[in-house]
């Protein structure tokens, strides 16, 4: 019979817990969380609802863990970044497109990174897409269901949506007579 050293039960439990934890870490790939900053209204209940509804993939990119409240990321390296709780956009001359029932303001000033922000929803959701890797419109399609959890209160309009008076209804312009020039 060989002599065995018997560890106390608490140490055996700790040892087996470490083995299980190390094994789980090896199976999950140990990828670091994507470092992001939370938006000003990220702690709102609406943003908590958005995060609960984040899809597992966007534009064919797998979901990643983030380190900030009200955020989401997809791709390795991250190619799609979401921030819930950003400032609500006001009137703008930037293009606004409706994709699957969600109005998105499209800002390409930092191309090839495109920033799309929901319009008419409080708080707003902003998505930044690296268009060298994926299409911003595909990301918008995949995230429309998530953005819809925040009710829409306004919609984008264009010049075609405005009701301008017709020429017949416009009163004629009368010019005041001018005084003759002095001699």
Residue 41 covered by a domain: yes
**Residue 68's domain spans which residues?**
34-157
Mean pLDDT value across residues 118-141: 97
Mean pLDDT value across residues 128-135: 98
What pLDDT does 180 receive? 46
pTM above 0.85, yes or no: no
What DSSP designation does 135 have? -
DSSP per residue, 68-105: STTEEEETTTT-EEEEEEEPPP-S-SS-EEEETTEEEE
**Cα–Cα distance measured from residue 140 to residue 128, given in angstroms and rounded to the nearest whole number:** 10
Residue 79 covered by a domain: yes
Residue 166 covered by a domain: no
Domain count, the chain: 1
Residues in CB range of 9: below 8 A, 6 or more apart: none
What pLDDT does 179 receive? 45
Asked whether the beta carbons of 150 and 46 are under 8 A apart, the reply is yes
């Amino acid at each position: 019979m060989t002599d065995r050293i018997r560890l106390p039960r608490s140490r055996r439990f700790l040892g087996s817990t470490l083995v299980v934890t190390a094994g789980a870490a090896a199976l999950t790939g140990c990828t670091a969380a994507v470092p992001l900053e939370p938006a000003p209204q990220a702690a709102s209940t609406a943003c908590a609802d958005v995060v609960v509804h984040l899809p597992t993939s966007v534009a064919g990119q797998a979901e990643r863990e983030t380190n900030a409240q009200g955020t989401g990321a997809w791709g390795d390296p991250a190619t799609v970044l979401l921030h819930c709780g950003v400032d609500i956009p006001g009137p703008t001359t930037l293009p606004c497109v409706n994709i699957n029932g969600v109005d998105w303001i499209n800002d390409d000033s930092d191309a090839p990174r495109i920033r799309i922000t929901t319009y008419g929803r409080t708080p707003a959701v902003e998505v930044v897409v690296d268009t060298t890797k994926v299409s911003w419109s595909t990301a918008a399609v995949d995230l429309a269901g998530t953005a819809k959890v925040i009710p829409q209160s306004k919609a984008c309009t264009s010049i075609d949506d405005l009701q301008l008076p017709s020429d017949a209804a416009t009163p004629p312009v009368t010019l005041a007579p001018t005084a003759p020039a002095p001699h």
